[in-house]
Amino acid sequence: LHPSWTEKAQTLLTTWEKLHVCMPRYANFMAKCNRKDLKRPHVFMNEQAQAALGEFYLCCALRLRADEVDAAGEDSAKLLDLAGQVAQQDVEPFFQDCRDFVADYNEALHRRLDDTTIWREVEDGLFWHHSFEVAAEEAYRDLQREALPPQAEWPNREDGAAVEAVLEQFTAALQGSSRAKAEEIYRSFLEASAMPVKCSIRAALIDHRILYGEVTYRGQQASGASE
């Protein structure tokens, strides 16, 4: 089983790494925009903002199409045309792909998943138990009912032989009649594990004013680094 989102995420993150150095130029463009320009007939932005935006797209062209920039040399017309192509064919579609990727970001789910990581320090089995409860609560509960005896009949944890017998019964069910249910639960966990990546990309979009919104959580790693 493999997450459906990893290939897309890797593509987006790779492009972000290339364009990151250009984002200060985008910030400069945003700083030069004037809301009054939107109210003027046939004017979308002032000349300073236009120039700053062109510099941003040229920077992106250098990062994404270096050979074409070299081929254009110092020909202003060719460079301007290339900047327009990069804007329409590369950068804006990339920004939209990022927006689409993070559209279903679930902060509550992300926080709950982060909270389960503490169990890994105690025991891997407890980490997986709590992670499955978060990512696939109903399906995981169904699996327990299906593959384990009723909780009232669970053996005392001190009775090693009885506990081992229950675990063997559970393992046999996972390899047999309950396998499909177990795979469904694990698949749900894999899909939910996209939340930290989506959080990072969403925060970058909002920080750079490419996406409207508010960042109220940046993930466990970011929170730990800030403390």
Higher per-residue confidence, 16 vs 45? 16
Average pLDDT over residues 44-51: 81
Predicted pLDDT of residue 224: 42
**Tokens for 151?**
């909780």
Q: Is 17 within 8 Å of 9 (Cβ atoms)? A: no
Residue-wise pLDDT tens digits, 188-209: 999 999 999 999 999 999 999 9
pLDDT digits (tens, 9 = 90+) for 120-168: 899 898 999 999 999 999 999 999 888 888 887 777 878 788 888 888 8
Per-residue confidence band for 43, with pLDDT thresholds at 50, 70 and 90: very low
The mean of the pLDDT values for the chain is: 89
Cα–Cα distance measured from residue 112 to residue 107, given in angstroms and rounded to the nearest whole number: 9
pLDDT of residue 99 exceeding 60: yes
pLDDT reading at 227 higher than 70 = no
Which tokens go with 19?
A: 């364009």
The answer on pLDDT for 8 being more than 60 is yes
Residue 226 scores a pLDDT above 50: no
How far apart (Å, rounded) are the C-alpha atoms in residues 31 and 164? 65
Output the pLDDT for position 221. Answer: 64
Distance from the first to the final alpha carbon of the chain: 36
**CA atoms 39, 43, 48, 50: torsion sign:** positive
More confident residue, 4 or 42: 4
Share of the chain above pLDDT 70, in %: 93
104: tokens are 């279903």
pLDDT in tens, 77-93: 999 999 999 999 999 99
Q: What would the mean pLDDT of 103-107 be, rounded to a whole number?
A: 97
Residue 38: which pLDDT band, with cuts at 50, 70 and 90? low
